[in-house]
Amino acid sequence: MLYLDLTVTGLMTGVFYALMAIGLTLIFGILRVVNFAHGEFYMVGAYTYTLLSTALGVPVWLTLPAAVLVGAALGWVTERTLMRPLYAGYSSWGLMKDEYAIIVTFGLSLLLINLVDKVIGPYPYRGPELIDTARVHLGPVIADGHRLMATGLGVAVIAGVFAFMRFTVAGKQVQAVAQNRLGASLAGIDPGRVSAAVFAASGGLAAFAGGLLAPIINASPDVGVFTAVKSYVVVVLGGMGSVAGAVVAGLFLGVAESFGAVFISYGYRDTFGLVILILVLMFRPQGLFGEKGRSV
């Protein structure tokens, strides 16, 4: 009973880790950079969901899509205004200057944190739950109603991402640009448009996770910092650029933390992922699903 309960709890947590990490993975797969403002996209989604619901009285089933749209818009604007000038001027085929991208996204992270702190305030805000049901019985396991609903929505979105990448023309264009930017350009695919779309999708996914978790992890200016750290761990564990790896690693990390908190110590719960990351980097640096090298 205990093992089943811990497994279910860990898998539910892992879904949110995977949801956050997929956006980072897509960006790395296309641009080969890490977005250090990814956690702030999460934070913006959490605030959008919470403030629209509590301050304006908008129904939660409308505020959640609104959070996604705001996060996607922020991602699109970020790519168009901050990221694109960095690589468009560097090479005709859009090769990114890694060090500049790190500085820009880190600066954007600090800007958004301090802007929200000054405009909205440093105090945390708790978002409304999606459903009023406090407890749901899943056989011998008892789950929180909102967490269960949020997990179901997260699984549906993750499945939608896989279906999009596998079965749609746009998804295959994303894969083509990730594999070979120059080759995709010669085939008639616009890498700039794909990059903007991926940044928008990444922002939307992070904001969606922020909205789902707003009733569990209160919205605050720095709420995305720790969440982003977990996302980076998941991305590296799964393999940089691997969407499937991000999902598997997210679920694995959630279960590992769930068991470790009970059988080792809850106080070290957030360090288990770092320990696992160190072990993976020692014995399999490319991650669970990553490649050792990239051929062009």
- Tens-digit pLDDT profile for residues 209-251: 999 999 999 999 999 998 888 899 999 888 888 889 999 999 9
Is pLDDT at 91 greater than 50 in this prediction? no
What is the rounded distance in angstroms from the CA atom of residue 34 to the CA atom of residue 44? Answer: 19
Mean of the per-residue pLDDT values for the chain?
87
Q: Quick check: 235 and 149 in contact, CB under 8 A?
A: no
Q: On the CB side of 108, how many CA atoms lie within 13 Å of its CA?
A: 24
In a domain, 71, yes or no: yes
Residues 6 or more apart whose CB falls under 8 angstroms from that of 52 comprise 58, 62, 63, 66, 67
Which segment, 19-33, 37-51, 226-240, is predicted with the most confidence on average? 37-51
In a domain, 76, yes or no: yes
In a domain, 292, yes or no: no
Tens digits of residue pLDDT in 96-145: 566 778 888 999 999 999 999 999 999 999 999 988 767 776 667 777 78
Query: What is the number of domains present in the chain?
Result: 1
Residues 6 or more apart whose CB falls under 8 angstroms from that of 88 comprise 94, 192
In a domain, 113, yes or no: yes
DSSP states of 231-248: HHHHHHHH-TT-HHHHHH
In a domain, 134, yes or no: no
Average pLDDT (170-174) is 92
Closest CA to 251 of 266, 237, 240, 262: 237
What is the rounded distance in angstroms from the CA atom of residue 202 to the CA atom of residue 105? Answer: 14
In a domain, 132, yes or no: no
User: What CATH number does residue 73 fall under?
Assistant: 1.10.3470
What are phi and psi for residue 135, nearest 5 degrees? -135, 140
Is pLDDT at 20 greater than 80 in this prediction? yes
Which segment, 6-15, 35-44, 176-185, is predicted with the most confidence on average? 35-44
**The two structure tokens encoding residue 285:** 């640096």
Is pLDDT at 42 greater than 70 in this prediction? yes
CB atoms within 10 A of CB 265: 11
DSSP states of 168-180: SHHHHHHHHHHH-
Matching residue, tokens 């996604």 = 68
Alpha helices in 90-222 (DSSP H): 98-119, 145-167, 169-179, 181-186, 191-213
* Domain range for 53: 2-122+139-283
Average pLDDT (77-106) is 72
